[in-house]
Structure 1
Amino acid sequence: MLWKRETDIEQLNRMAQGGIASHIGIRLTRLTDETLEGVMPVDNRTRQPFGLLHGGASVVLAESLGSIAGYLCSQGEQRVVGVEVNANHLRAVTEGEVRGVCRALHTGKRMQVWQIDIFDDHDRLCCTSRLTTAVVTPES
């Protein structure tokens, strides 16, 4: 199993309350031995002025999933912070819900790299993103 911290979806969703993810309706839905999944509505909170899913909202979903997954791979007092995120927007989405699937590409002692693929309601890939995080230990 990839994860080093014990948790469940309900606990992770509670941890996210009050942050940007909860404000735009992101919900974590599935935690397997190798992946973390979540969904986000395509509505007035996440659309750009022309009615399409805002690319920035897709990036928020991707970075949220990758950061939470990174935290689950850390230990003790370690924290995970984003270093770089990129996204390729491949298909427009105008309604419904999108689903993000986060997988580890690398989980080292100091750096992690996450692949997050985002699918529409018809299971078509609409965005692919990569997040690099640094694993840090707070100074006393």
Structure 2
Amino acid sequence: MQYTKEEVLAQANKASKNTLMETLEIEMVDFGPDFLVARMPVTSKVHQPDGVLHGGATAALAESVGSFASVIFTDSNLMVRGLEITANHVKSIREGFVFAKATFLHKGRTTQLLDIRVTDQDENLISICKLSTISLPKKK
């Protein structure tokens, strides 16, 4: 069964209720045949003490969009868990939005490797993240 872009985004955002994604106001905003994009506002809620975006919030954004991408683009009868995430922060941001675009470097049946580029609203690179995930049978 094929889902529309709007249905995929609505389902992902509904699944985020009462989770870290809702706390950080992470929202899935774009979806295509080989990518998923999430957005997060940069406010004091995600700042480090000196007033710039906290790297941990950036990593949470990256892991969220990458994990959702693994669910969407692999067997939905499996559960996805993150194995490892790396983040290289190259630019700071104080306000506005950051966008994380997840694309696959490897899409295996069991493991996946995703490249996640985090940019500001002007498409300036903020962070480059890599996420490896594993797909496992759902527990009964």
Deviation at residue 76 of structure 1 after TM alignment? 4.6
Q: In the alignment, what sits opposite 2:73? A: 73
| CA shift digits 1:2-26 (9 cap, x unpaired) | xx97442112111111110111111
In the alignment, structure 1 segments of 5+ residues that lack a partner are none
Partners of 2:77 and 2:13 in 1: CA distance: 20
Q: Give the 3 Å change call, closer, same or farther, for CA 61–75 of structure 1 in structure 2.
A: same
Which one has the bigger helix percentage?
2
Q: Secondary structure at the match of 1:94?
A: coil
Partners of 2:121 and 2:63 in 1: CA distance: 20
TM-score, with structure 2 as normaliser = 0.92
Partners of 2:48 and 2:112 in 1: CA distance: 31
Runs of 4+ in 1 over 2 A off after TM superposition: 4-7
| Match status 1:105 vs 2:94 | no
Q: Give the 3 Å change call, closer, same or farther, for CA 95–106 of structure 1 in structure 2.
A: same
Q: How many matched pairs?
A: 137
TM-score, with structure 1 as normaliser = 0.92
Percent identical residues: 29
| CA shift digits 1:33-63 (9 cap, x unpaired) | 1110011010021111100100000000000
Aligned alpha-carbon RMSD (Å) = 1.5
Deviation at residue 139 of structure 1 after TM alignment? 4.8
| CA shift digits 1:102-136 (9 cap, x unpaired) | 10111101100011000012210010000000111
In the alignment, structure 2 segments of 5+ residues that lack a partner are none
